[in-house]
Amino acid sequence: MRPALPKCFSGNAYVLASIMMAMGELEDASHECIIEKIREAKNKVNQEYVRSYVEALEGPQQGSSLPPLKELTLVSDWTRMPFHNIDFFHGKATYACPLATPLPQVAYFMQSPTDNFGVDIRIGLEPENITAFSHCFLSMA
C-alpha cells in the first residue's frame, strides 16, 4: 500500500468492496451469480480504489455518496482466519471466535469448526434489535 501504514500502526485496516442489487434482483439471482458479483467487486480493489475510498471518508459527509453504515447490508469473509485452530497449549480449542463484532451491522462468514465445508455466520446486533431479530429468526423455523 502506498503510502505504507506507519510503523507504529497496530490493528486491521480495510476498505469495503460492495455490490448493489435491488431486493427483487437479489431474490431472483442464483447463488453463483451473487458470488461472481462479489468476486468482481473484490478484484476491483486496488491502490486507486483505496485512495478514492479514503478521500471519500475524509471528505465532507453532507451530500456524500456513501450511505450511513446502518443502511447497508455488510458481509465480511473471515473464512481464511481459522479461529477454531487456536491452541492454548492444552490442545486445539473446541471453538473460538471474537466475543464482539467490530461493526454491529456486519455478518461475518467464519469457518465451521465441525464441518470442513461448512460456514458459521456471525451477526452483530445492537442490543435494541436482539429481541426483534430473535422473534423473526425463530418464527422462520
**Domains: count for the chain:** 2
Residues 60 and 93 grouped into a single domain? no
Chain segment 33-83, per-residue pLDDT in tens: 998 998 999 888 888 888 887 777 676 655 556 666 666 677 788 888 777
Q: What are the cell numbers at 72?
A: 447497508
Residues 50 and 101 grouped into a single domain? no
Residues 79 and 103 grouped into a single domain? yes
Q: Which of 66, 83, 112 is the last residue of a domain?
A: 66
Which domain, by its residues, includes 8?
A: 1-66
Residues 71 and 35 grouped into a single domain? no
Residues 51 and 94 grouped into a single domain? no
pTM: 0.52
Q: Which of 20, 39, 66 is the last residue of a domain?
A: 66
In the predicted model, what is the mean pLDDT of the chain?
A: 79
Would you mind telling me the total number of residues written for the chain in this entry? Answer: 141
Q: Which of 33, 66, 99 is the last residue of a domain?
A: 66
Going along the chain, which residue ranges are E strands?
A: 74-77, 106-111, 119-123
The pLDDT of residue 32 is 93
